[in-house]
Amino acid sequence: MIFVIIWLICGFGCAAIAKSKNKSAGGWFFIGILFGPLALLIVGFMKAEEAPTDTLEAKKRIEKLKVMGDADALAEMIVDETDLRVCRNAAEALAALGDERGKNYLESPAAKAYDEPKPEEIQALQDLVKEGICPLCGSPFGWIEKFFASKNLGWTCNCGLSSALAKRDWGKVVVRKKTRAAKAPVKD
């Protein structure tokens, strides 16, 4: 009986920690039930996942910076931002301010990669998951993640991508992958 209680606590504990790290709470609840305290340790040491970028929030910020004429902050946004859609919006605002850096970015391969993701591009990434390879960074999953991915359950990669984030917007994963591959530095 005491073991059942301990394992249940591990399940709920894992779910709570996973949630605080932007990971799948449901998935980690089951991992907690399966692996008990070991799962608690694993999720405890895992890196927190970045919260999904709020594109609308970013758009508002770009609009504000444009009105203020803060070209440097816009250029910084292009460098730091991982969402190509946001990068492009910032570059357009920067170009509208007459700043060369905005124009340079709009002519870069990263800006040109901003096309709506095609279904076959999304399928290719989903196939990688089935093979046990992270669709974003390309590194192989560990055995637990591999097992979960093969059973179409939740997985999380060290690069921060998880099945929860991917399922929310596979198109965004395609865009992020292209950003990683093609991002050119903004010239001064």
Binding site residues, Zn ion, CB under 5 A: 134, 136-137, 157, 159
Q: At what angle do helices 170-182 and 84-96 cross, to 10 degrees?
A: 60
- Closer residue to Zn ion (CB): 88 or 177: 177
| Percent of the chain that is helix, strand, coil (3-state, to 5) | 65, 0, 30
Of 65 and 129, nearer to Zn ion (C-beta) is 129
Whole-number Å distance between alpha carbons of 108 and 106: 6
Residue corresponding to tokens 């816009």: 74
State in angstroms the smallest separation of the CB of 55 from Zn ion.
22
Specify the residue, 25 or 136, whose C-beta has the smaller distance to Zn ion.
136
Helix-then-strand count for the chain, H and E: 12, 0
Taking the complex as a whole, how short is the minimal distance between the CB of residue 52 and Zn ion, in angstroms?
A: 16
Minimum Å gap between C-beta 136 and Zn ion is: 5
Which residue matches tokens 């170009």? 95
Name which of 21, 63, 64, 69 is nearest 42 in CA terms: 21
**Spatial CB neighbours of 145, under 8 Å, sequence gap ≥ 6:** 132, 155, 156, 157
* CB 13, min distance to Zn ion, A: 25
Q: How many CB atoms lie within 10 A of CB 84?
A: 22
Query: Which residue's CB is nearer to Zn ion, number 88 or number 183?
Result: 183
Q: How far is the CB of 158 from Zn ion (least distance, A)?
A: 6
Closest to Zn ion by CB, 113 vs 133, is 133
